[in-house]
Amino acid sequence: MFSYKTVTINPVLPNRPRASVLVIYTGGTLGMVYEKGQLVPFDFEQILDRLPEIKRLDFEITFTSLEQIMDSSNMRPDVWAELGQLIRRNYDFYDSFVILHGTDTMAYTASALSFMLQNLQKPVILTGAQLPIGVARTDARENIITALEIAAAQHDGKPIVPEVCIYFQNVLLRGNRAKKKETSQFNAFRSDNYVPLAEVGVTIEYNFPYIATPTDGSVFELRPTLDENVAILKLFPGITPNVVRSILEIKHLKGVVLETFGAGNAPTLPWFLQELKDATDRGVVIMNVSQCDGGRVMQGRYQTSTWFDKIGVISGADITTEAAITKMMWVFGQETDPSRIKTLLAQPIVGEMTVW
């Protein structure tokens, strides 16, 4: 368990209904300021000193911070589970949630939470920054303020975006469709296989046909169990049997995300196909995901991928690697039946892939 400290801005007054947002700070570039020439995390109790614009927002905002914040490179599945628990404990007390997160692993966290937070009917929006909030040209202010506005936005008393999202530099993306694409530009995230849920300029334009619609009568449920016995194997010209075998023969391995070429193609070398077949015969589940950012796996379209169907490799369609590996962790954490596991991996669960 982690410890938290909280501060509330714009508290809701009696008999004056307003939206309420819980902001969870995990760490990352966004929350850094300069002290004595060094970047250090700032105390969110002084949030108004850094973001005085928050006082002009007409809804309640509560900030809570992990006692031990972390660089997102150190993000782990147990922290995803703790974030899920924190949201579940506060689900009935807040209308929405904003998670302030480092950019490097934000897409992984967003993907994991999208699977863990089943039947979600409230916004969970991740955002961050490329420059610290203590820097003059920071993008942190706009990202935080707009993420808060989107999180609090309602229509007919219901949240407009009831799903896990990433907001960054004027676009709101489905969390399990996003990838970090830039380290030196402000538009750090893109979603090549799914349109933005909203585009932000002078006004916020929502793309309603693409936003998730909760099932009436569905009950929010946290399913945080993740199984980390998975791996990613990225193909490259000249890959050797020793490299492939070292991944596929990992002790206790249950699943592998296989990053293939183009539309899901791979070498047809006999040794390579035999290694894959041996792994699937041992019960290892292999999911075919393209190395390309846009487009999709079309398994069997070319001769170089026809063998995959024969040995039981699952097509990942247009899923991202980040969503594929977290989906595997989640599915293995929920199911033990091999046929059920393969069925869940091959079909969309929370809009993470499109199957034709």
302 DSSP assignment: S
How much of the chain exceeds pLDDT 70, in percent? 94
Mean pLDDT for the chain overall: 91
Catalytic residue, from 6, 8, 26, 29: name it.
29
User: Is 132:138 a contact under the CB 8 Å cutoff?
Assistant: yes
36-75 pLDDT tens trace: 777 777 766 677 777 888 888 989 999 998 777 888 999 9
Specify the pTM: 0.94
Question: SS3 string of 2-34?
Answer: CCEEEEEECCCCCCCCCCEEEEEECCCHHHEEE
Catalytic (active site) residue 29: yes
pLDDT tens, residue by residue, 175-228: 999 999 999 899 999 999 999 999 999 999 999 999 999 877 789 999 999 999
- How high is the pLDDT of residue 4? 47
Crossing angle between the packed helical segments 270-281 and 241-248, to the nearest 10 degrees: 10
| pLDDT, tens digit (0-9, with 9 covering 90-100), for 242-301 | 999 999 999 999 999 999 999 999 999 999 999 999 999 999 999 999 999 999 999 878
3-class secondary-structure state, position 157: coil
CA–CA gap between residue 8 and residue 45 (Å, rounded)? 9
pLDDT at 34 over 90: no
